[in-house]
Amino acid sequence: MSFADHFSGVSAAYAAFRPRYPDALFDFLAQGAPAREEAWDAGTGSGQAAVGLARHFKHVVATDASSSQIEHAAPDPRIEYRVSPAESSGLGDRSVDLVTVAQALHWFDRARFWTEVRRVLRPNGVIAVWTYVMLEIAPPIDKIVRRFYSNTVGPYWPPERRITEERYQTIEFPFAEFTAPDFVIEQPVTLDDVAGYVRTWSATRAFIKRHGEDPVARLVSELGPLWGDPRQSRLARWPVAMRVGRIE
């Protein structure tokens, strides 16, 4: 099965500008896993989640269907990066304690992926999938960014994006689910960081491909007067929505 590669052309920027997940998120998952031997991060992108898992697990297999993403992934001696689709990992039966999917589930063939998860998880193993929603900085800034998200590049979001906007609450999740805490990504960003992050959006990339122009330049000029010195950092927050469960 082929996959829609929305990110290969922007892999370096993806590695540089995508937000980093909080340590508490990985602490929670490690505590829930039946052991801390093997973890699999599916759709790893540039490895943000894999690096967090590697602080807790002896060995992490991190897979992505995009070889370009893997080429830009953060190296770590405990992480083994592989180019492979999430639906066909190449992992052994009952070989991992934890499976994670960070901001990538909406690109998967979920029915096939759930089958693969059941195959590779050890008894009582944990599966966690999460997405983060629109960044929050300050209400006047957020209003402009949301308008850009919905109006400027809104028509260019792939249909798969809808389940992230619904915080993964509308998807099937065929596992013994338990409650995850409310995690929030927090990190300081400059105006350049915001621009770099928005340029990694698949809808922004599609807009540029269609029109041959970068809409983020206009966004930056609109945000400039509100931001002040573009080199100054402001705290950005991304609320995280997680589904987590065990195989029964």
Residue 40 burial by Cβ neighbours in a 10 Å radius (0-12, 13-18, 19+)? buried
Please give the share of the chain, as a percent, with pLDDT higher than 90: 83
With beta carbons less than 8 A apart as the criterion, state whether 77 and 71 touch: no
pLDDT score, position 17 = 63
pLDDT score, position 5 = 42
With beta carbons less than 8 A apart as the criterion, state whether 40 and 96 touch: yes
Task: Give the residues across from 41 on adjacent strands.
Answer: 62, 100
Amino acid at residue number 10: V
pLDDT score, position 15 = 55
Kind of pairing between the strands at 79-83 and 121-132: unpaired
List Cβ neighbours of 196 (8 Å cut-off, separation of 6 or more).
13, 16, 17
pLDDT score, position 2 = 36
pLDDT score, position 16 = 64
CATH of domain 8-246: 3.40.50.150
64, 69, 75, 81: CA torsion to nearest 10? 20
pLDDT band at 161 (very low <50, low <70, confident <90, very high): confident
Domain boundaries, the chain: 8-246
Rounded mean pLDDT, 102-114: 95
Q: What is the pLDDT of residues 207-221, one digit of tens each?
A: 999 999 999 999 999
pLDDT band at 74 (very low <50, low <70, confident <90, very high): confident
Question: pLDDT at residue 154 above 70?
Answer: yes
Q: What is the pLDDT of residues 2-19, one digit of tens each?
A: 334 444 445 455 556 677
Closest CA to 102 of 149, 158, 44: 44
Question: pLDDT at residue 190 above 80?
Answer: yes
3-state SS class at 86: coil
Q: Is the model more confident about 1 or about 191?
A: 191
- 153: which DSSP letter? S
pTM metric for this prediction:
0.88
In order, the DSSP letters of 182-193 are --EEEEEE-HHH
Question: pLDDT at residue 80 above 60?
Answer: yes
Question: pLDDT at residue 66 above 50?
Answer: yes
Q: What is the pLDDT of residues 19-59, one digit of tens each?
A: 789 999 999 999 999 999 999 999 999 899 999 999 999 99
